[in-house]
Chains A and B, each alone.
Chain A
Amino acid sequence: MTGGDWTRAIIHLDLDAFYASVEQLRRPELRGQPVIVGGWSDESGRLQTARGVVSAASYEARRWGVRSAMPLATALRLCPQARVVPVDFGAYRAASTQVFALARTYTPVVEPLSLDEAYLDVTASQRRFGAPRSIAAELRDRILDTTRLHASFGVATAKVVAKVASDLRKPRGLVVVEPGEEAAFLAPLALRTLPGLGPAAERALQGLGVSTLGQLAALPLDVLQRRLGQAAGRMLWERARGDDDSAVSVPGRPKSISREETFAHDLDDDDALNARLQELAADVGRRLRQGGWCARTVTLRMRYSDFTTLTRQLSLPAPTEADLAIAGAARGLLENCWTGSPLRLLGVGVSGLEDASQLDLFARRVDRDTRVDHMLDQLHGRFGHSAPRRGAATTLRDLDFRGDDLRGLGQHSADER
């Protein structure tokens, strides 16, 4: 195959069973075992699985029918021998950063979709690195050498085709769809292999007697649009023929940043909620500062035990990147709308992101808070989640320097008195 046909060359990179593979790499005893990533460690380091879901499963576990997003309890019924390990995003993010850095040595145009998935536009890289297929193969080998992680690759002239291709021979696949072959490649595939085609659209299409992408592409456009709506109809029709000119976009400033937490036990204690809220606000603030942004609007999300979910927003008088300002606004929203019933989830987010922050003339105190945020960021960079946090964000755990629980001791001495 000649490289000249590739007027656009896009690679879809998808790491295989990523979270589980990272866990198997750093814990050799898990290799070859069915591994489920999910749940969390409680304060004493014990794994809690009561209400968790499967974040990821190794291929060994998938063989037993374990899938992502499945409740952990269900997964363990299917595969009782599975080893469950808690989610450790820090480790996955580090591995992901390494992989994407390798990808960026071939092209600056890398669009990460998640920690384990990215599009690369290598159109302009062909002169230096050769044909798209050899770029993908070389990247695959270097990722394996450097990180010992396996990945699947799809190579095509359009994003949607590349993504379908990478999914086709997972794991460790490398599928190249030559220019001009897109429609023929897609034609025999099942409807659900097309990104953006969900169960509802699938049912609607089956009603029309359509079960493959080739049949979908052969439908008259107006028939499809009557069934699925103007925009969705056109989008699926074009995608089914491999017609997708959307660009690989290098991420810039996001529209919003948010963090939410589902509690191990529903919380109705004001102090505890306040501590969670401060911690969530601090996470959001840190990500704002990492990007060099500030935000105009703070959002609070809360879900009661009965799953009633509320979202409330507040616009700040001036954009901020300060933990305390975000936490203060979120706290105000909580005070305004929380009924006092137990909450199962709390989330803090910011939107209306701007690149710049207006400094204040009379802000001595704010200056001090800014410096504290900065110091905490640096500590977080070094120590991760065990780094110090602002006072209210830490429930007093009464642990001494060895980690022993002093709470019992305190009670003991109180009894003595």
Chain B
Amino acid sequence: MKCTVSSSALSSSLSLVSRAVSPRSTLPILGNVLVETGDEGLRLTATNLDLTISVAVPAEVASEGRTTIPARLLTEYVGSLLDAPCTLELNPSTQVLRLVCGIHRTNIHGIDAIEFPPLPPRDTGAGIEVDGPALAAAVTQTAMAASGDEARPVLTGVLVQFDADRLTLVATDGHRLAVKTLEVAGGGEDAPTGSIIVPARHLTEVARAITPARPVVRVAVSPSRNQVFFTMPDLEISSRLIEGTYPNYAQVIPGESTTTVTLPTSALLRETRTVSVLAKDAANVVRLRTGDGTLTLLAQTAEVGDDEAPLEASVNGDDLHIAFNARYVLDALAAVDSDQVQLSFNGPLSPGVIRPVGTDDYLCIIMPVRVPM
């Protein structure tokens, strides 16, 4: 194998695929990145067996070949090179990759590519095309609500639901829930149906990989429904799916509310963040109290101090005193992309709903904290 590639292109591609490298795997080969020549130039692939990321780097290929190289070493090394053409040449008998770039003459020991785990079969299943930036935004707006607790694996994923002209993303950790709907062009016969559960962490890698150069993402599900593929012109990310039954999220979305509050998103976000400083040692609990034309934020930590901040707001309905984990409120407000935000409540022990004003494609539900009032 011999080819020439730009060191900066190689570097950015390496940092992309190395997201799939498991840092502490018991299988040493999983710490390596597969480097191989192909039709598009050079292809880099890394996998932790659950998540596989493969990217094509434009390259002049002089001779074909493949090997695997320790991912962290190669990523750090190439990342520190000045931008210049870089020649890669493999000695197949020793599996030593020789890199020549600028003043450097470098040899790195690899492991034969035969050792690399077989990759999931390429995207052949039913798929639809989705606007890249819109998908990235939808992932960011929902994945934050997924659980980090492996005890309930289903909740560590994002539910992706395929409908005729819509894609719905849902995530919940049992304390809060985020739902985002995306319009999609009809996928026709080929479109996937039903729903799948994708690990939230893997979806976040998809969102991270989406750039203006990758405006469209094809989302496809393997025929056996155990893999999902996100395909972009030069990049493919595949993830195992989480098996299990997702909780019936629709039933916890309240239909009506007894109190609604509307106010500027940025002001509420900023002031909640400020008030929450005084809540850090009190389970991060921020209280909300509605009054005539005001929403008052309160935080109190015994023997530390307290804060009370009245905000001007349009308030309708019953007076309310409710408490939330400030982090959930901040995550939800950061995900709201409109100038005004609406909060709606049904008393202090029922879920609160946060939604943007002007669109109905997103909502976030937060379960309150019961506090001694």
Contacts and interface: CB of A to CB of B under 8 A. Distances in A.
Do A and B bind? yes
Contacts of B176: 361
A357 interface: yes
B149 A361 contact: no
A39 to B, nearest CB: 38
A359 B247 CA distance: 16
Interface of A (DSSP majority class):
loop
Contacts, number: 51
B151 interface: yes
Contacts of B252: 361-362
Contacts of A357: 369-370
A359 B368 contact: yes
B150 to A, nearest CB: 10
Nearest to A362: B247
A371 interface: no
Interface string A333-367: 00000000000000000000011111111110000
A360 B175 CA distance: 5
Interface residues of B, number: 24
Given A292-B372, A317-B149, A356 B172 contact: no
Interface string A76-90: 000000000000000
Interface residues of A, number: 16
Contacts of A292: 371-372
Contact of A359 (B285, B302, B370): B370
A44 B325 CA distance: 50
Contact of B325 (A253, A358, A361): A358
A370 to B, nearest CB: 9
A354 B283 CA distance: 7
A253 B302 contact: yes
Nearest to B303: A252
Interface string B349-367: 1010000000000000101
A417 B371 CA distance: 59
Nearest to A357: B370
Contacts of A361: 172, 174-177, 247, 252, 351, 365, 367
Contact of A356 (B177, B323, B351, B365): B323
Contact of A358 (B172, B247, B367): B367
Nearest to A296: B283
Interface of A: 252-253, 292, 317-319, 354-363
Given A253-B302, A292-B371, 12 more contacts: A355-B282, A355-B285, A356-B283, A356-B371, A358-B367, A359-B175, A359-B368, A361-B172, A361-B174, A361-B176, A361-B252, A362-B174
